[in-house]
Amino acid sequence: MFQPVKIAPSILSANFLDLGADIALIERAGAAFVHIDVMDGHFVPNLTMGVPLLKQLKPATSLVCDVHLMIDNPLVELPWFIDAGADLLNVHVEALSEADLVRAIAQIHEAGLMAAAALKPKTPPSALAPVIADLDMALVMSVEPGFSGQSYMAGSETKVAEVAAMARAAGNEAMLIQVDGGIGTATAPLVAAAGADVLVCGNAVFAAPDPAEALAAVRDAADAARLAVLDACA
Ligand code: DX5
Ligand code: ZN
C-alpha cells in the first residue's frame, strides 16, 4: 500500500532569530517531524543546540520532535532530552558499545518515546543488528554529520535498501528509514525508491526562496518515485 514520505525539516538551517515563524511555516507546509540536530563539538566538529531549545520548542509545535543526537555520551544525556520533551530520540551507533546501544534503545522505550539508531556514511548496516528488531526508525546518513548544506554522497541509496532488507529479515516491517544529508528534489527520488520513509531537509527547504513550495516539491518528487516502484511491482 502506498505510504507518502514524511518530511523532517532540520532547523539547523532555519532562521534562529525568527524560529517561531519557521516552525509555523513548516507546519503549514505539511512537515511531519521537526528535526533537531544536537552536536556536542566532540562527536562531530560543530556545536549547535540542545535541551533549552527543545524545552521551548516542544510546547510550541504539534510536529514530532525528532532529536538527532550527535554526541559522545548519549547514555548520560538521554534523560535530559526525555525530560525536555523529545518524541523521538536518535542515537549514533558509533558513540556506543553494542551493549550500551541495546541499553540506550531500551531506555528510550521505557520512557515511552520512539527510538532510532543512526549510521554515519562509513558505518555498515550490520552495526544495527543488535537492535534492529526493536527500532522505530533507523537513520542512514548521506553526508558526514556535522554541517548542513553538504552534497549527498552518491550511492547512499544502496545502504537504504540494505537497511530495509535487514529490517524485513528481522520481522520489523514497521521500522521507518530516515535519510539525512543533501536531500532535495534531485536526491529524494533515489532514496525514496530504495525504501526511505522520512527525509530530513535542511538547506533544500530553508535556503529556498519559497520554503513551503520547496518542501512540497521534495515530497512530491519522493512520492512519485515510491509510486513508480509500487507500479513496477504490481
Ligand atoms: C548534518 C545534520 C543534518 C543537516 C541536514 O550533520 O544531521 O540534519 O542539518 O542539512 P542538509 O539537508 O542541508 O544537508
Ligand atoms: Zn540530522
Dump pLDDT digits (tens) for 12-56: 999 999 999 999 999 999 999 999 999 999 999 999 999 999 999
Sign of CA dihedral 122, 124, 129, 135: positive
- Report the distance separating Cα 171 and Cα 53, nearest Å: 36
Distance CA 165, CA 159 (A): 10
pLDDT of residue 57: 98
Which ligand 1 atom is nearest residue 152's CA?
A: 14
Report pLDDT for 1: 83
Spacing, Cα 37 to ligand 2 middle (Å): 5
**Sheet arrangement for strand 114-119:** 6-9, 198-201, 176-180, 137-141, 114-119, 88-92, 64-70, 33-39
Are 180 and 35 in contact, with CB atoms under 8 Å apart?
yes
- Clarify whether 180 is annotated catalytic: yes
- CA angle 96/97/101 to nearest 5° reads 65
Instruction: Name the residue at shortest CA distance from atom 4 of ligand 1.
Output: 148
Cell of 109: 522505550
- Would you state the pLDDT for residue 38? 99
Catalytic residue among 37, 66, 136, 197: 37
If one counts every other C-beta atom within 10 angstroms of the C-beta of residue 141, the result is: 24
Q: How far is the CA of 224 from the centre of ligand 1 (A)?
A: 23
Task: Establish whether residue 150 lines the binding site of ligand 1, counting it when its CB lies within 6 angstroms of any ligand atom.
Answer: yes
Nearest to 195 by CA among 155, 232, 226: 226
Torsion sign over Cα 151, 157, 159, 160: positive
Task: Please tell me the distance between residue 19's alpha carbon and the centre of ligand 2 in angstroms.
Answer: 17
Q: So what's the pLDDT on residue 234?
A: 84
What was the pLDDT predicted at 152? 99
Q: Which three cell numbers stand for residue 24?
A: 509555523
3-state secondary structure of 131: coil
**What are the cell numbers at 116?**
532510532
136 catalytic residue (yes or no)? no
Single-letter code of the amino acid located at 214: A
pLDDT at 190: 98
Structural domains in the chain, sorted by start: 6-233 (3.20.20.70)
Give every residue of the chain whose pLDDT is below 50, as ranges.
none
